[in-house]
Amino acid sequence: MTPLWIDTHAHLDAPEFAAAEVAALRSEARGRGVARCVIPAVARSNWDTVRELAHRLGDAYALGIHPMGVPAADEADLDALDEALRAHRDDPRLVAVGEIGLDFFVPELTEPAMRERQIRFYRAQLRLARRHGLPVILHVRRSADALLKGLRELPVDGGIGHAFNGSLAQAQAFTERGFALGFGGASTFDTARQIRRLAGELPLETLVLETDAPDIPPQWLYATAAERAAGRPQGVNHPRELPRIGAVIAGLRGVPVDELAQATSANARRVLPRLAALA
């Protein structure tokens, strides 16, 4: 029997996926055992798109303002998010507020004024998650401590630390607050020693799987800078890659693939409780 997986982070509305082809691509992933995808929003402009996609594809979605979308966002977008969460509060496919968080890696987002603006939008969206009783999906890039500070001051109903790449102490701090940690394509690179160590050694109940499609391609899709210069295009990640990514992580942990699929899917349903009603 094919193991059943949950891809907790797939941007199926991204331009890399042609709108006319996304249903067939999603069907291919389902044929490989990817029973459910969570489609996170990144800006007000795609809230309706991810909601429509989730309903059309039989998946789930989250609404939020991504930190990389903060420079173009304004206060009206936060008010609109509050209204959208209220309008769709009874939609079982709305499973979280996300993708929200902080990005202290992208240079233009690290200027002091923009860091403060990111923090303000992050905290505002934590308040909305609290108001609407939803978990959050967090963008964590060189920002774990600042995210944790916000969670200590504005606790929410758990969620997922997406594409986690922090320390063991930071991982434990998130999981103590009811979060699972997302692992995906980066775990397939031999050089990603810290990520692979965490994926292999953290308690199994703290892990969920994700692709971040079309981003963070696994090693077998990745084109190096030299390869790209020679004309090889960068590989596009896709939910169909999740079972193979899962097999790599199962190998790191020394457990059967079926066991990892079952556990990580159960973890996803625990930290995003509305997923359980869709199973």
Query: If you search the block for the tokens 């609407």, which residue do you land on?
Result: 132
What is the number of alpha carbons within 13 Å of residue 124 lying toward its C-beta? 21
Question: Measured between alpha carbons, how far is 9 from 99 in angstroms, rounded to an integer?
Answer: 9
Question: Measured between alpha carbons, how far is 27 from 238 in angstroms, rounded to an integer?
Answer: 12
Closest Cα partner for 195 from 205, 203, 183? 183
pLDDT for res 20: 87
Q: Quick one: fold of 5-278?
A: TIM Barrel (3.20.20)
3-state secondary structure of 125: helix
pLDDT in tens, the chain (279 residues): 678 999 999 999 999 999 889 999 999 999 999 999 999 999 999 999 999 999 999 999 999 999 999 999 999 999 999 999 999 999 999 999 999 999 999 999 999 999 999 999 999 999 999 999 999 999 999 999 999 999 999 999 999 999 999 999 999 999 999 999 999 999 999 999 999 999 999 999 999 999 999 999 999 999 999 999 999 999 999 999 999 999 999 999 999 999 999 999 999 999 999 999 996
**Is 91 annotated as belonging to a binding site?**
no
Contacts with 209 (C-beta within 8 Å, 6 or more apart), sequence order: 5, 6, 7, 8, 182, 183, 184, 242, 245, 246, 249, 264, 268
pLDDT for res 2: 73
**Is 162 annotated as belonging to a binding site?**
yes
pTM: 0.97
Domains of the chain, residue spans:
5-278
**Is 132 annotated as belonging to a binding site?**
no
Edge-first strand order for the sheet with 94-103 is 5-7, 34-40, 60-63, 94-103, 136-141, 159-162, 179-183, 207-209
| DSSP character at residue 234 | P
My answer on whether omega of the bond before 176 falls inside 30° of 0, hence cis, is: no
**Is 9 annotated as belonging to a binding site?**
yes
pLDDT for res 279: 61
Closest Cα partner for 137 from 169, 116, 164, 160? 160
In angstroms, the Cα distances linking 5 to 66, 86, 151 are 25, 30, 28
pLDDT for res 66: 98
